[in-house]
Structure 1
Amino acid sequence: MEKQQDVGLLESVKDRIVHAIEGTGDVTGAMVNAVSKTVARAIEGLGGIATSLVHTIADVVQGTIQAVMAVGGDLGTAAKSIVVGVLRGAKEAGAANLQTIGQTAESVIKTTARMSGDLGTAAKGLVEGAIQGAKELGLDVTKAASAAAQGALNAAGEIGFEAGETVRNALTGTIAGVKVVLREPFNSMAKPRNLTPSRRNREEEIP
């Protein structure tokens, strides 16, 4: 039953986004509205908000990116619209926060990678969306940008070293007037693990 609901949500999002892109000049605004309405409606029917919201975001992200790439839309604009739309839709449930931004960013990067999209373009769009959404909702703009960047980096690190480097390069410096702060844990996720330091530590602990 849950799988059927997921498929229904996914197809619904795809249809709305395709119509939004094909039927209006304001593509960004149309995508934001489609995403926010879908998230808001889905949240209304959720029980366990924390877990269910993650699944809802994943479905919305997948449907949006599939639709955008199918009609040749701009991936950066899509990523930006997704973050703004998710934050608006989650606002009523009190879930428009940094954690939601990070989860959305992870989902966008993973979906983009599965569809062989441009990870750098998507990552930059995510941060731009986080900045715009934070300004609208009164969140800390710098923290919001960093949450999106870190979510994107974490997802890219799980995909592989090349993906991680692509995303990190795209996010280095200032985006939309905000300095993006990247944390180091990404390095250990993206690069092959080196067990030597931990072995050395264990040897030092031996009397």
Structure 2
Amino acid sequence: MQALVENVKNTIVGVIRGTGEIVNAVTETASSSLATALKGTGSVGKALTESVTDVASGVIQGTAQVGGDLGQATKGAVIGVLKGTKEVGGEALDAVSSTVQRLVSETADVGGDVASVARQAMEGAIEGAASVGVKGVDAVAAAAAGAIAGVGGVGKAATETVARVARGLIQGASDVGGDLGSAARGALVGVLRSTKDLSTQTAATLAATAGSVVKATADVGGDVGATAKAAVEGAIQGAREIGVDAAEAAAAAASGALKAAGEVSTTAVEQVQKAATGVIAGVKVVAKAPFNA
């Protein structure tokens, strides 16, 4: 409802202008606005999805209007949506995914930094999940899938943006002690949910995304093998969801992970080769080419 978008936007504008504080102000605005909207319409299915996306739109539009920090606003929005959803008994993971998807797409629309927003969205998902009793790994995967889907589009530019967003997701998870594997898995699922096909370009995006999460994991000192395997698992899950060849999707992800590992170290290549190929989730995974450091 446009009325909800405008209400949230105007509230955010007033609060930021009045106090300058963003995260807590957005958290409270998002939580109360969502709870109020859903109490009158019910908290399941379409009503929940529409309400959380409207809240997300209002948050980004309002913050952008006053030149506020979109990343901080995003973090507050995700935490607030989780709190508001819990208050009315809604499905938290669906709410997180839909919220982050809209936050990323709105940020792109206003010319903001989508990678930074993805990073803060991940932090918000992890912190918010802990406060409402949702499993952190599930919230991480939901946020990651939503963020990648929020990029939308196909082609080289979209692939590059997805890779940057995926990197932000790993960084955000690392910042607050979240599970990097869940972030990687969700990111790859998000690619396929967004494209709904397995074209040559989608395969390239899967490879680039897997490569991005592996490099980001190496940068934060994480387990590159575990992240690579999780990325392949995400490709398989996403492929099965949309009904395309899981082995082909997995091969693209494994190839991208190995290529990235080759830019890190010989040890990283060995770790990724061992973890991300072979039989995974019932699928024989074969990388399309060898990669060496």
Shorter-chain TM-score: which interval?
A: 0.7 to 0.9
Out of 24, 27, 34, which is 2:29 matched to? 34
Further displaced range: 75-84 or 159-168: 159-168
Out of 189, 194, 197, which is 2:200 matched to? 194
Partner of 1:175: 175
Partner of 1:111: 106
Deviations 1:93-147 (A, max 9, x none): 2115212111111111111111121100110111111111111011111221221
Runs of 5+ unmatched residues, structure 1: 1-5, 202-207
Is structure 2 residue 159 aligned with structure 1 residue 161?
A: yes
Q: CA deviation at 1:158?
A: 3.8
**Secondary structure, aligned partner of 1:163:** helix
Q: CA deviation at 1:157?
A: 4.6
Q: 1:85 to 1:152 in 2, by over 3 A?
A: same
Contact 2:101 2:146 in 1 (8 A): yes
The residue type equivalent to 1:193 in the other structure is: S
Contact 2:146 2:190 in 1 (8 A): no
Contact 1:130 1:148 in 2 (8 A): yes
Count of residue correspondences:
194
**Secondary structure, aligned partner of 2:200:** coil
Partner of 1:141: 136
Q: List, as ranges, runs of 4+ consecutive aligned residues in structure 1 with deviation greater than 3 Å.
A: 184-192, 195-198
Q: How is 1:1-207 mapped onto 2 (pairs within 5 angstroms)?
A: 6-47=1-42, 49-158=44-153, 160-172=158-170, 174-180=174-180, 181=182, 182-183=184-185, 184-186=188-190, 193-194=199-200
**Secondary structure, aligned partner of 1:117:** coil
The residue type equivalent to 1:194 in the other structure is: T
CA distance in structure 2 between the partners assigned to 1:158 and 1:129 by the alignment: 25
Q: CA RMSD in A?
A: 2.6
Identity %: 33
Q: CA deviation at 1:47?
A: 4.2
Q: CA deviation at 1:62?
A: 0.9
The alignment's TM-score, normalised by the length of structure 2, stands at: 0.60
Larger relative contact order (CA 8 Å, sep ≥ 6)? 1
The residue type equivalent to 1:115 in the other structure is: V
